[in-house]
Amino acid sequence: MGRKMIVGNWKEHPATAREAKRLFDATAALADVHPDIQAIVCPPAIYLGTVVEARKAKRSAAKVPLGAQDVFYEEKGAFTGAIGSKMLRSMDVEYVIIGHSERRKWFGETDAVVAKKVAAAHAAGLRVILCVGEPPEVRKKGVAAAKHYLAAQVSRGIKQAAKKGLWGIIVAYEPIWAIGSGRNDDPRDAAEVAAFIRKTARMAGARNVKVLYGGSVNDRDVGSYIGAKEIDGALVGGASVAIGELKKLFKNL
């Protein structure tokens, strides 16, 4: 079963490297008093070096693995602005978020691009956190419609990687309407969909699948998601970059 995970997706925060160090140190201190939880932080790539140094400074901090928020599918070359899997590995990065709905929305990522990134990152030894989630207009039609949408997104996302054997993928279920909106999913619906996603990923060839829930997770509801046996943890945005919020969240685990 393994420990439940709390993955902090810092997005485009904080504003300075100094604050990034503070945020990491605060997260590591909280993780240290919650050894039953696997805390992972995903800072903006520009702060990875800062966080790597902060991890080295304390033995407890080294127990908090690092994730990146994106990766390009080519290892190297004339791809201005891009960062490849091996570069991330060389910075002690173990996890990578791929296909977040904000990447899809603001950076035009399609399922085809996501699939290439998943395959490249997995081949390079990164643990992939593949994000999927239905838009509000789909969810309005009900949970069955959402499942139909998600089945396509999950299988398209992992198909390429699964051809070579896909072990240890993490799928984050993040309904688009729940992200950053304060409107989170009913924990029972989230658990049902998480079980469905696990089944779909297995049918598409993935093994040892973990499923996270994400979307406006806060201190009041985190327990109702990660307490469900179908859900292996939470992907947390807003509450992972505000130290006060994060403290409350860990307190309620």
Residue among 30 and 162 whose Cβ is closer to ligand PGA: 30
Cα–Cα distance, 64 to 51 (Å, whole number): 10
Would you give the DSSP letter of residue 162? Answer: H
Of 146, 104, 130, residue with least CA distance to 212: 130
By CB under 6 A, tell whether 180 contacts ligand PGA.
yes
- The answer to whether 17 touches 236, Cβ cutoff 8 Å, is no
By CB under 6 A, tell whether 40 contacts ligand PGA.
no
Does 174 participate in catalysis according to the annotation?
yes
The size of the interface with ligand PGA (CB under 6 A), counted in residues, is: 12
Would you give the DSSP letter of residue 173? Answer: E
Cα–Cα distance, 32 to 27 (Å, whole number): 9
In the chain, what is the greatest distance between 2 CA atoms, to the nearest angstrom?
Answer: 51
Does 75 participate in catalysis according to the annotation?
no
Residue among 15 and 78 whose Cβ is closer to ligand PGA: 15
- Binding letters toward ligand PGA, positions 65-104, x by CB under 6 A: ----------------------------------------
Residue among 31 and 97 whose Cβ is closer to ligand PGA: 97
Residue choice 209, 211, 235, 246 for contact with ligand PGA (CB under 6 A): 235
By CB under 6 A, tell whether 222 contacts ligand PGA.
no
* 165 phi/psi in degrees, rounded to 5: 90, 115
Give me the active site residues, please.
100, 174
